[in-house]
Chain A
Amino acid sequence: MSDRGDGMSDRGDGMSEDRLRALLREEPIPGATEAKRRGLELIDSAYVERRPAQRPVLPRLAIALTAAALLAAFVLSPAGAAVRDWVGDVFTAGVKNAEPALTDVPGGGDLLVQSPRGPWVVHADGSRRLLGDYDAATWSPHGLYVAVASGRSLSAIEPDGTPHWSITAPGPVSEPRWSPSGFRIAYRAGRSLRVERADGSEGNLIAARSAAVAPAWYPPGPHLLAYVDAKRRLVLAEADSGKRVDMAAAAPGVIALSWSHDGGELLEIAPRGLWIRNVMPGKLSGLSLSDGPRRLGLPANAVVRAAAFAPSHHTVAVLLEHHSTAGPRSEVLLLDPAGGPSRRLFAVSGRLTELAWSPDSRRLMLAWPAADQWLFVPVARGPRLRAIANVSSVFSPGHMNRAAFPHVEGWCC
């Protein structure tokens, strides 16, 4: 890079090239140190999660030892008693004897599934409908409507696809979230965060710039919204006025938020950990974030793929991924935020990617793309584990090769 054949020699009539170089090098960048730290966390997580193109061929002994260790862990763990009858089948190729088709939603309720063709509604009896060419979707609180996003458009439609209204946002719409009251929809438009009345009549700006984290509505009902702003602060704001009720530094690397059902706790989810924060009645504002979040104990070197509070109690389910020379291993833990013992619910040799609670908090749905399966795992005694195979073809009918694996946007009511 020594060629300077640009004819840009100094003229002696103002700024020299060397002076310009110095100015460009020395210009201060706001928040550069924190940004560098955040970037390294993110890149390191992505690196850990990546799948090398050429994986080493493992000795059979290592595979056998890993399998044996997993099996022993299952049998010895408290959850092992409930899952012992099927764990032996669950290793690298998915659950054996999985049901070949989705004939019903185990445990009931309706699923909202985002596929390469757009979102689908799957009813409890297994019937399903493609809603249209939308990029994102979210249920209204009782499943009567779906908010869908496509480009700069946000629309409300019925689960049979009947449109009700549509607005054009100032930027590409993403992360729509319907409020528990049913009267508001929060969404990101480009980098901004906005709230729209659920009849599409009026909207307002909450933050001109926000982090790429889905906003989370305060469950008990008032139109309060938690979000992460562009400066990586966790903000609690009134949705109608945009007024900030309270604010605190967000947990490092936070990628998602989840409220407990009663609004007493807010979970901050990051690849490197889970942080929980008590939300207290405040003297002036009505609510305040507690001083500092508590970090929940997780196994060392585990990467958090997903986590969520149960819809009706304070249990947190977390999907963790571990890496070793034998490849990725996934496990689901049930955590007690109050500090009680955690419980391993499920584990496999392979990569699970999603976790969703059933509306009655009795099951967890897990996605296993490499096996093309959804797993419906019982949390309580009673129901049995069910595995559904050929998931991708269900949501991409007519696709010749295996289509992209769909993503569950919500499990309603």
Chain B
Amino acid sequence: MGAEVNERKLLREAQRGSRDALAALYEAHWGNAQRAAYLVVHDAGAAEDIAQEAFLAAVDDLDRFDRRRPFAPWLHRIVVNRAIDWARRENLRCSAGNPEHEPAIAHADEPAAGALMPALAQLPPEQRAVVVLRYLLEYTPGEIARMLALPRGTVNSRLRRGLDRLRELIEVEG
């Protein structure tokens, strides 16, 4: 509750022209926005672009934003939908056999250290997105359904299939 009040205060101050308030909002939300995009697109540069675009959209709409609504879901909706679009485009380029566009996972600036990224790369972008929204950003299936404009049953089935596949691919102790 305290965090929500503080966020409303920051939004109000940012709407009034406070760069410090905007910087505080950025500090609070950049990390999750960038991480969510990265886990869906598997490309650090693209994730940076997507997170930047989402924040730029927030700046553009700042004066119209309803402060009674939480900021994070609005931002995450933009991030995840753009990340899905980006990943779909990359997949299309790969499937078209263009040698200049290797699978998105190979575009990461540095090799992933653990098993998570190769395993996530095996999932379609839409499944990656619901996994990230559920287990990184902690949205409920109902909230995810609204964010992605999907039936709740579709979200549940994507979550179930995604998690089952990850369990197969990642051998870790339970």
Contacts of B38 in A (CB 8 A): 27, 29
A-B contact pairs, 15 of them (CB 8 A): A1-B143, A3-B142, A12-B174, A14-B167, A21-B135, A25-B136, A27-B112, A29-B35, A30-B110, A32-B34, A35-B48, A38-B52, A43-B55, A47-B62, A53-B63
Q: Which of A285-301 contact B (CB under 8 A)?
A: none
Q: Are A31 and B109 in contact (CB under 8 A)?
A: yes
Q: Are A15 and B100 in contact (CB under 8 A)?
A: no
Q: Are A39 and B100 in contact (CB under 8 A)?
A: no
Q: Which of A17-69 contact B (CB under 8 A)?
A: 17, 19-21, 23-25, 27-32, 35-36, 38-40, 42-44, 46-48, 50, 52-54
Q: Which of A19, A43, A171, A231 contacts B52 (CB 8 A)?
A: A43
Contacts of A28 in B (CB 8 A): 112-113
| B residues with CB within 8 A of A | 14-15, 17, 19, 22-23, 26, 30-31, 34-35, 38-39, 44-49, 51-52, 55-56, 59-60, 62-64, 93, 98, 100-101, 107-110, 112-114, 116-117, 131-132, 134-136, 138-143, 155-156, 159-160, 163, 166-168, 170-172, 174
Contacts of B109 in A (CB 8 A): 30-31, 230-231
Q: Which of B35, B138, B159 contacts A1 (CB 8 A)?
A: B138
Contacts of B168 in A (CB 8 A): 14
In the bound complex, how far is the Cα of B51 from the Cα of A39, in angstroms?
8
Contacts of A349 in B (CB 8 A): none
Q: Which of B14, B56, B110, B170 contacts A46 (CB 8 A)?
A: B56
Q: Are B34 and A29 in contact (CB under 8 A)?
A: yes
A123 at the interface (CB under 8 A from B): no
Q: Are A14 and B55 in contact (CB under 8 A)?
A: no
A42: shortest Cβ distance to chain B, in Å? 6
Q: Are A20 and B30 in contact (CB under 8 A)?
A: no
Contacts of B64 in A (CB 8 A): 53
With an 8 Å Cβ cutoff, the count of chain A residues facing the other chain is: 53
A8 at the interface (CB under 8 A from B): yes
Q: Are B100 and A192 in contact (CB under 8 A)?
A: yes
Contacts of A16 in B (CB 8 A): 174
Q: Are A40 and B59 in contact (CB under 8 A)?
A: no
Q: Are B30 and A7 in contact (CB under 8 A)?
A: no
Q: Which of A52, A53, A170, A209 contacts B93 (CB 8 A)?
A: A170
Q: Are A6 and B156 in contact (CB under 8 A)?
A: yes
In the bound complex, how far is the Cα of B55 from the Cα of A171, in angstroms?
25
Q: Are A170 and B98 in contact (CB under 8 A)?
A: yes
Q: Are A27 and B114 in contact (CB under 8 A)?
A: yes
Q: Are A39 and B17 in contact (CB under 8 A)?
A: no
A208 at the interface (CB under 8 A from B): yes
Q: Are B44 and A30 in contact (CB under 8 A)?
A: yes
Contacts of B22 in A (CB 8 A): 43-44, 47
How many A-B pairs with Cβ below 8 Å? 153
Q: Are A170 and B101 in contact (CB under 8 A)?
A: yes
Which of A17, A20, A25, A28 has the largest count of B CB atoms less than 10 A from its CB?
A: A20
Q: Looking across the interface, which residue of chain A has its beta carbon closest to that of B144?
A: A6
Q: Are B56 and A23 in contact (CB under 8 A)?
A: no
Contacts of A48 in B (CB 8 A): 19
Q: Are A52 and B139 in contact (CB under 8 A)?
A: no
In the bound complex, how far is the Cα of B45 from the Cα of A32, in angstroms?
10
In the bound complex, how far is the Cα of B56 from the Cα of A40, in angstroms?
10
Contacts A3-B141, A230-B45 aside, 11 further interface pairs with beta carbons under 8 A come to: A5-B140, A8-B160, A17-B163, A20-B131, A24-B35, A27-B35, A29-B35, A29-B44, A32-B44, A46-B60, A50-B59
Q: Looking across the interface, which residue of chain A has its beta carbon closest to that of B167?
A: A14
Q: Which of B108, B112, B172 contacts A14 (CB 8 A)?
A: B172
By Cβ-Cβ distance, the 7 closest A-B pairs, closest first, are A53-B63, A14-B167, A30-B109, A3-B140, A35-B48, A24-B136, A230-B45
B130: shortest Cβ distance to chain A, in Å? 10
Contacts of B138 in A (CB 8 A): 1
A205 at the interface (CB under 8 A from B): yes
Q: Which of A20, A29, A38 contacts B135 (CB 8 A)?
A: A20
In the bound complex, how far is the Cα of B93 from the Cα of A50, in angstroms?
36
A85 at the interface (CB under 8 A from B): no
Q: Are A205 and B100 in contact (CB under 8 A)?
A: yes
Q: Are B174 and A10 in contact (CB under 8 A)?
A: yes
Q: Are A39 and B98 in contact (CB under 8 A)?
A: no
Asked whether A209 and B52 contact (CB < 8 A) given A23-B114, A32-B34, A44-B22, the answer is no
Q: Looking across the interface, which residue of chain A has its beta carbon closest to that of B143?
A: A1
Q: Are A13 and B174 in contact (CB under 8 A)?
A: yes
Q: Are A209 and B163 in contact (CB under 8 A)?
A: no
B57: shortest Cβ distance to chain A, in Å? 10
